Amino acid sequence: MKLKDPERIPFMVQATIALSPDVGCNPKLLKNGSWEFEWDKKDGFTPPTNSELQTKADELKVLWNSQKYQRDRQPEYPSLPDQLDKIYHEGIDEWKKTIKAVKDKYPKPE
């Protein structure tokens, strides 16, 4: 599952999709900060509990945070056509230097 920016799609909403991808859900964030879920009806479907949803949302948040270096690197990499052009004109070693500079700037956490 590709995570979405939590500023646009909160982790609780993403958790409903992750746990029940084949069943529609209308999640609502209440004024008190809690969530209410209205699930579509489907034979044999038992909606996840709020505890299961919160656990999944917490897992997604940990995953999102662990991938920050990837999101930071992405806009700094040259486009694929530019990378291929660099390889063609300057060779693979020069291309590796370009990529390594970005990787060094945003290292992968241990």
Domain boundaries, the chain: 11-66, 72-105
Residue 46, pLDDT score: 94
Which of the pair, 109 or 106, is modelled with greater confidence? 106
pLDDT in tens, 29-75: 889 988 999 999 999 999 999 999 999 999 999 999 999 999 999 99
Tell me, what DSSP letter sits at residue 108?
P
Distance CA(84)–CA(91), nearest Å, equals: 9
| CA triple 18-4-42, angle to 5 deg | 30
Average pLDDT over residues 7-27: 90
Split at pLDDT 50, 70, 90, the class of 81 is very high
Q: What is the pTM of this model?
A: 0.76
Does residue 1 surpass a pLDDT of 70?
Answer: no
- Going by the DSSP 8-state scheme, the letter that residue 74 receives in this structure is G
